[in-house]
Structure 1
């Protein structure tokens, strides 16, 4: 189990919601916290919620900018030294919207923040972790990255990409002693989820209240992330009630594995190589 006392944790999307929950949970373990958010004011608000003895500082960061990441790295290292845990948590949603209604510009923005933003963070901090032979990277996907549904196609596509990237990266970095975990949150109290909720429950306060009552508090997701880092777990599933939907999808995929499309194709390949 990794000891997080005195370690430096860099969290994007740190201005509330899951990012804020992560900050609180890592602080409970005695870590030093860097909160980055495109809205610096939100990050500062979250920092103010942490206990007074927690070492924390905030900075503005647009995760789409590799230059912005580099500037953030320099500032973080000047303040706390090497970053031990990177949480690529910043993300946006299109809201509940059919794919035909998602403009090219909106689709590109979702991919730039949710996928390229994760890549930029890994490129910024990953090589130094590998060189040191230690560190951990947490990438936030979504339950939509395991079991997509209608009206969330663009968002789901970005979160499936995060899962694939994380799985491959975990295999790549394991020999260097660097762990990689993927977080799959369900409905969690955050600005993004509450904004999406407002769009689907407009004019129906009873429905909104019912959905809000089932939102998980972000601190509990943060604690699940901390446990995964401490134990080098590959996947973090915080909402087990989604299990049956994921299982049904996986069974449909497995059922598609039958006879090869080309009979005896492996025999032909072997003969060609010979």
Structure 2
């Protein structure tokens, strides 16, 4: 990958949900290299502890075992992060789930709701917990990790696609809502990346995932993190409520 200028996050505190693996962990690494202190929220305590151990060589790391789909757990995590650091400046809503693969008609309503609970309600809960704090301080950067599936859909994962489309809509609405407060809210829409969310991929599944990607490859988590990093930085100063595509040409809107 080409050498890219490192954003300066000195003095900033960042919350990264799902920051213990995949795109979330790569984003946490980038933020740490830039000088941010980190609060990582996730359900898997062992992976949280492993991520914290790795990142502790670069910055101060605070971890919270939390399910973002649980409003009370998120409110408690936000209080814990603010109590620990005294502030939160950056929120990366990365925690997510793919859910089952099934056609509508056999896709269970309970499974559909479970995906919305994490991907959409989780983002809403985290924003609800931290936006008032950021607005009161007059500064904030929020990045919602959506998906190209939220733009043009994917077959057999209707819950995931619907949740990501709603996440994009929430980004647009909230970005306009807080536009004069110093808090900027944006989304990124990656195409498929080789992370745990997809599990083990056989060759047929890989071909299906890449069939609509003109660049004919997966996007690396590091590439997505670079885009997120700019959106988390002070260099991003006049973009809010926007959706930033990183899909290798699959979506051009």
**Interval of TM-score (by shorter of Structure 1 and Structure 2):** 0.7 to 0.9
SS at match of 1:100: coil
Structure 1 length-normalised TM: 0.80
Q: Distance in 1 between matches of 2:61 and 2:149?
A: 32
SS at match of 1:240: coil
2:96 matches 1:91: yes
Q: Which residue of 2 aligns with 1:265?
A: none
Structure 2 length-normalised TM: 0.86
Q: Which has the higher helix share?
A: 1
Aligned match for 2:10, one of 5, 27, 30: 5
Structure 2: gaps (5+ residues): 1-6, 211-215
Displacement of 1:218 = 1.3
2:162 matches 1:154: no
Q: Conserved in 1, the CA contact under 8 Å of 2:66 and 2:73?
A: yes
Q: Conserved in 1, the CA contact under 8 Å of 2:75 and 2:129?
A: yes
Q: Which residue of 1 aligns with 2:183?
A: 178
Q: Which residue of 2 aligns with 1:228?
A: 231
Q: Conserved in 2, the CA contact under 8 Å of 1:26 and 1:222?
A: no
Q: Which residue of 1 aligns with 2:213?
A: none
Aligned match for 2:250, one of 242, 247, 255: 242
Could you report, residue by residue, the CA deviation over 1:49-92 in whole angstroms, capped at 9, with x for unpaired residues? 32613111211010111111121122212221111001111111
Q: Conserved in 1, the CA contact under 8 Å of 2:32 and 2:58?
A: no
Q: Conserved in 2, the CA contact under 8 Å of 1:142 and 1:184?
A: yes
Q: Distance in 2 between matches of 1:219 and 1:33?
A: 18
Displacement of 1:185 = 1.3
Give matches, 1:39-188, under 5 Å: 39-50=44-55, 52-188=57-193
The structure having more radius of gyration, on CA atoms, is 1
Q: Which residue of 1 aligns with 2:221?
A: 218
Displacement of 1:47 = 2.3
